[in-house]
């Protein structure tokens, strides 16, 4: 029986037990330039998303030519019908325009596709079609990019390099390959090679300037998202995509997240090792991992993997990284992770990573602690400190105007008109106070929405109230002293307010349990209320229009 000797770099990160190479932080030549590159990107971003001059004329004309006619057809047609029909038609036309305009716009569509709850449901559903419909680059272009960046012929570095990619996305594509054996007579070393599309960096910068120039003209004209209107969405998009254009930053993200998980102890996550030397701006060679697709519930259960524990530990690991270290994977979705045979989750694609400085991390920590205690003012103060509200805002006025100091209303008890009015009033109030959605908060919410969906797939009968209690107890027991000290509360008085949790879900006091399946049923009731309102309101609008036409005819 062969005994596997644990790799010495496990003290540095949550890697596989025995990898194809050992990570040595003192021998990663590509990492030296990462801090300077992050600073350069941050300095240049305002010029890209708030342009002071006309964007490249050729690209601007092409974008307007592709985007203008579809929007005009929608405005003259489906928009007048309103409701679901209008949003579906607009979403389809925007998706088709994005695919025609190429990688930058497809990437924006993919970010929207994983933003369920942040963007209109029809737009999310339509943009999901962008995820796997990006044609790959010709292999000659891939070979040229790899050889140029690594400075050697492809065959000199790799014993095998598959011409057909494993996946092709908007920014890059991924190929299976194998490095030459490290020892004479040894086996080739299986790896994955991520290769950036040619000229994508230049194209993205030009497209960001065009987006930023067009976005203000779309405010109030197309329904995108309440707290991410077109200019704000461009700014959010610019913050995420610019860091994806340098794979040295992605490899650095991999090591930083792996280190955080290692410091937290028994992590549920595994990170592939980036290669010590084969990492450049456009090429990233990493360890190859394999396992179950995240949605393969049948396969995992056949392998005796506890899918409920998988969700529970994954949620805790994600929250620990964000709350205690200010860093988290920023783009969780089924295509970016899979499950190893030992039940741990392998994370992939670290191009989008949430990073919070100490000030914002503490604000984020206060937000979650205040939410657990049902402290409304504490939550609003934390949201302000995260940058979602102006720094000089009157919190008490916001709380009063938005009705946050009143008992929470069960949305399933409202009529369609009342439900719509409540949401519209809240959104109007937030926008009136200058609310916006910071990148870190957007990524966190997006990930929480994904994890919510993961519960529906992997553990639909999980008791949500019991799970919230379990997670709160875990943090209080394991990290309570540190959290209380950083937030400034007495550890003895930090208690989970289940009344607030029930209010959050809109259920009656005394409800002891609620499964995710039951929660989904409540959501379906709410969705049906919106659909009912749209079915009844359309005839009313048509009748009103008919009456106006009659009055105009009589006036003549």
Segment among 167-181, 311-325, 423-437 with least mean pLDDT: 423-437
Highest mean pLDDT among 100-104, 141-145, 198-202, 222-226: 141-145
Per-residue model confidence (pLDDT) at position 1: 45
Higher-confidence residue of 265 and 337: namely 337
The H or E element containing residue 217 is none
Q: Quick one: pLDDT band at residue 417, thresholds 50, 70, 90? A: low
What pLDDT score was predicted for residue 328? 94
| Residue 333 or 223, more confident | 333
Q: What is the mean pLDDT of residues 432-461?
A: 86
Q: 89-103, 154-168, 210-224, 279-293: which has the minimum mean pLDDT? A: 210-224
Q: How does pLDDT run across 392-409, given as a tens digit for each residue?
A: 999 999 998 888 887 766
Residue pair 412/506 in contact by the 8 Å Cβ criterion: yes
For 255-275, how does the pLDDT look when each residue is reduced to its tens digit (9 = 90+)? Answer: 999 999 999 886 789 999 999
Whether 94 has a pLDDT exceeding 70, the answer reads yes
43: exposed, middle or buried (Cβ count in 10 Å: 0-12, 13-18, 19+): exposed
Quote the CA–CA distance of 451 and 269 in Å, as a whole number.
Answer: 14
Distance between CA atoms of residues 63 and 94, nearest Å:
12
Position 418 scores a pLDDT of: 63
Per-residue model confidence (pLDDT) at position 442: 86
Phi, psi of 177 (to 5 degrees): -155, 180
Nearest-angstrom CA–CA distance, 146 and 282:
8
Which DSSP symbol is given to 199? T
How many CA atoms within 13 Å lie on the side-chain side of 488? 6
pLDDT of residue 504: 65
Between 282 and 408, the higher pLDDT residue = 282
Distance CA 253, CA 264 (A): 17
CA-based angle 397:402:408, to the nearest 5? 130
- The pLDDT of 305-328, averaged and rounded, is 92
pLDDT at 542: 45
For residue range 12-60, list pLDDT tens digits in order.
999 999 899 999 999 999 999 999 999 999 999 999 988 777 888 899 9
The predicted-structure confidence for 500-546, as pLDDT tens digits, reads as follows 777 666 666 777 777 877 777 766 766 665 566 555 554 444 444 45
Q: What is the tally of helices (H) and strands (E) in the chain?
A: 21, 12
Backbone angles phi, psi at 321, to 5 degrees: -60, -45
Separation of alpha carbons 344 and 334, rounded Å: 15
Tell me, what's the pLDDT at 419? 56
pLDDT of 181 reads 93
Q: What is the mean pLDDT of the chain?
A: 85
Residue 543: Cβ-neighbour burial (10 angstroms; 0-12, 13-18, 19+)? exposed
CA distances from 194 to 103, 130, 223, 281, 282 (A): 16, 19, 35, 11, 8
The string of DSSP codes covering 331-360 is ---GGGEEE-TTSPEEE---SSEEE--HHH
Quick one: pLDDT at residue 538?
Answer: 47
| Dist. CA 548–CA 186, nearest whole Å | 83
pLDDT of residue 182: 85
């Amino acid at each position: 029986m062969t005994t596997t000797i644990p790799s010495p770099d496990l003290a540095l990160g949550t890697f596989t037990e025995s990898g194809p190479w050992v990570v040595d932080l003192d021998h990663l030549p590509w990492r030296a330039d990462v801090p300077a590159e992050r600073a350069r990107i941050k300095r240049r971003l305002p010029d890209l998303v708030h342009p002071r001059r006309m964007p490249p004329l050729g690209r601007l004309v092409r974008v307007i030519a592709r985007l203008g006619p579809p929007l005009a057809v929608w405005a003259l047609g489906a928009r007048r019908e309103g409701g679901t029909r209008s949003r579906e038609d607009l979403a389809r036309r925007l998706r088709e325009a994005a695919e025609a305009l190429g990688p930058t716009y497809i990437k924006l569509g993919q970010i929207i596709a994983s933003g369920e709850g942040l963007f209109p449901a029809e737009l999310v559903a339509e943009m999901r079609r962008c995820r796997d419909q990006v044609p790959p680059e010709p292999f000659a272009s891939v070979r040229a990019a790899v050889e140029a960046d690594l400075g050697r012929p492809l065959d000199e570095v790799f014993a095998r390099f598959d011409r057909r990619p494993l996946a092709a996305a908007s920014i890059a594509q991924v190929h299976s390959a194998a490095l030459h054996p490290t020892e004479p007579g040894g086996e080739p070393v299986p790896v994955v090679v991520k290769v950036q599309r040619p000229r994508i960096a230049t194209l993205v910068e030009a497209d960001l300037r065009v987006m930023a120039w067009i976005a203000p003209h779309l405010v109030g004209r197309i329904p995108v998202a309440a707290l991410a209107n077109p200019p704000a969405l461009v700014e959010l998009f610019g913050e995420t995509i610019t860091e994806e254009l340098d794979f040295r930053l992605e490899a650095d993200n991999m090591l930083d997240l792996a280190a955080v998980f290692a410091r937290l102890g028994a992590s549920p996550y595994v990170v592939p090792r980036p290669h010590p030397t084969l990492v450049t701006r456009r090429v990233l060679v990493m360890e190859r991992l394999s396992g179950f697709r995240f949605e393969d519930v049948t396969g995992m259960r056949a392998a005796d993997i506890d899918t409920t524990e998988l969700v529970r530990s994954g949620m805790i690991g994600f929250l620990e990284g964000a709350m205690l270290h200010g860093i988290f994977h920023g783009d969780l979705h089924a295509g970016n992770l899979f499950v190893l045979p030992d039940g741990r989750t392998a994370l992939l694609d670290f191009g989008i990573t949430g990073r919070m400085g100490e000030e914002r991390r503490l604000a984020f920590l206060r937000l979650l602690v205040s939410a657990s205690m049902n402290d409304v003012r504490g939550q609003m103060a934390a949201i302000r400190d995260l940058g979602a509200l102006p720094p000089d805002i009157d919190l008490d006025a916001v709380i009063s105007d938005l009705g946050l100091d009143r008992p929470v209303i069960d949305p399933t008890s409202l009529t369609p008109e009342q439900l719509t009015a409540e949401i519209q009033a809240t959104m109007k109030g937030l926008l009136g106070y200058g609310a916006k959605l910071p990148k870190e908060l957007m990524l966190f919410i997006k990930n929480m929405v994904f994890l919510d969906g993961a519960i529906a797939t992997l553990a639909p009968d999980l008791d949500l109230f019991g799970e919230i209690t379990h997670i709160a107890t875990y943090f209080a027991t394991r990290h309570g002293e540190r959290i209380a000290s950083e937030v400034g509360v007495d550890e003895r008085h930090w208690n989970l307010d289940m009344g607030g949790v029930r209010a959050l879900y809109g259920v009656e006091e005394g409800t002891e349990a609620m499964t995710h399946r039951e929660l989904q049923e409540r959501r379906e009731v709410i969705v049906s209320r919106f659909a009912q309102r749209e079915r009844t309101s359309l005839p009313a609008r048509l009748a009103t229009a008919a009456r106006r036409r009659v009055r105009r005819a009589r006036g003549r």
